[in-house]
Structure 1
Amino acid sequence: MNLSNRPTNFHMKNDSLKNGSLILSWNPPQNQSFLTGVVIQKNGLDFLEVEKEVTEIKIEGLKRGLEYLFQVFPIYGNVLARNAASTCLSITIK
């Protein structure tokens, strides 16, 4: 898979972890030909689908003491590109 097809700079925004919520942010893939959106995955399950213009999302309802794993997957046309995932982000809610 060409690395330009992956979302990059996937991270939790500084100081966004409050009251069981956080803000995730990413840069879209460099190659945006046919990009129609992205899927945010939480703990290995598809969690939320957003349009390609969205590069930041607030996640709410997270429970204290639990670890959450997040990833972003691009959608090209109507195909979810599972082999073009962002890095995996591990966050423990304190």
Structure 2
Amino acid sequence: MPIIIWLAMSFTISIIQLLVITQPEWIVNGGHIQGLFAVCTPWSCELREFKSLLPLFLHFMGSLLFLISSLTLVPTIFCSSTAAPMQTIAHMQITAG
């Protein structure tokens, strides 16, 4: 039962993280829309600087790693009789988080 809970939580966390990172608009203030990747006015958009895009890219990669580790967890749970593969997947999820 705890393995099923771990699996459900892993899928939920990874999907929510990917939904958060793909949200295009975050703050709307008057005529300005501050998104994750650009700051826009009704007439133009300016991309953010590289320094501010790097953490977003790393967060996206961590979310993707979390989702991939969740997908590899399913066959590991049902086809393995030892805990070593699950330990590796748990370490991947800790790294991704």
Asked which structure has the greater CA Rg, the reply is 2
Higher-strand-fraction structure: 1
Please indicate, yes or no, whether the TM-score normalized by the shorter chain is above 0.5.
no
Q: TM-score, normalised by structure 1?
A: 0.29
Higher-helix-fraction structure: 2
Which structure carries more relative contact order (alpha carbon 8 Å, separation 6+)? 1
